[in-house]
Amino acid sequence: MSTAATGSTKAELLANWQVLAVAFLLVFFSFGVPNFSLPFMYKPAMDEFGWTNTQVNLLSTAKFLIGAVAALGMGILIDKIGGKVAVLIGALAGGVAMALFLLATTLPVYYLAGAMLGVSASSIVSAMKVVVSRLFEINSGLALGIVLGATSMGQTLMPFVWTPLLNAGINWRVIAGMLSLGSLLISAPLWMFFMSRTGATQAIIDSSTAKVAGAPSMWEHAKEISKENGFWLIMLSIFLVSAVDQAMTQNTVTYLRNDKGFNLNAILWYSSFTGILAVVSKPVAGWIYDHYSITGIRFFYFLLALSVLLALPVSGGLTLFMFVTVLGIAHGGLIVEAPVLTKHYLGPRNLGMTIGIISVAVNLGFAAGPPVLGMFVDHFGNYNIGLMVYTVIALTGFGLMMPIKPRFWVPPSQRKQ
CATH (domain of 141) = 1.20.1250.20
For residue 334, what pLDDT is reported?
86
Q: Is residue 31 part of a domain?
A: yes
- Give the residue ranges of DSSP H helices in 259-349: 268-292, 294-311, 317-332, 337-341
CA distance 141 to 300: 14
Of 70, 100, 61, which Cα lies nearest the Cα of 179? 100
Q: Is residue 394 part of a domain?
A: yes
The distance between the two most distant Cα atoms of the chain, rounded to a whole number of Å, is: 64
Q: Is residue 6 part of a domain?
A: no
How long is the chain? 417
For residue 388, what pLDDT is reported?
97
Q: Is residue 292 part of a domain?
A: yes
Each of the 417 residues of the chain gets a pLDDT tens digit; together they read 433 344 456 777 777 788 888 889 988 988 889 878 888 898 899 999 999 888 887 887 888 888 777 777 777 777 676 677 778 888 888 889 999 999 999 999 999 998 888 888 777 777 787 778 777 777 788 888 898 888 888 878 888 899 899 999 999 999 999 999 998 898 889 888 888 877 777 777 776 654 444 445 556 767 788 888 999 999 999 999 999 999 998 888 889 988 998 877 777 777 678 778 888 899 999 999 999 999 999 999 999 999 999 999 998 888 998 998 999 899 888 888 988 888 899 887 777 778 878 888 988 898 899 889 989 998 999 999 999 999 999 999 999 999 999 998 888 878 665
CA distance 158 to 177: 14
CA distance 367 to 355: 18
Q: Is residue 417 part of a domain?
A: no
Q: What is the tally of structural domains in the chain?
A: 1
The answer to whether the CB of 12 falls within 8 A of the CB of 139 is: yes
Q: Is residue 2 part of a domain?
A: no
Q: Is residue 5 part of a domain?
A: no
Q: Is residue 4 part of a domain?
A: no
Distances in whole angstroms, Cα of residue 242 to Cα of each of 62, 235, 250: 15, 10, 12
Of 130, 183, 147, which Cα lies nearest the Cα of 22? 147
Rounded to the nearest angstrom, the gap between the alpha carbon of residue 196 and the centroid of all alpha carbons in its chain is 28
For residue 416, what pLDDT is reported?
66
Q: Which domain holds residue 270?
A: 12-411
Of 202, 160, 178, 65, which Cα lies nearest the Cα of 121? 65
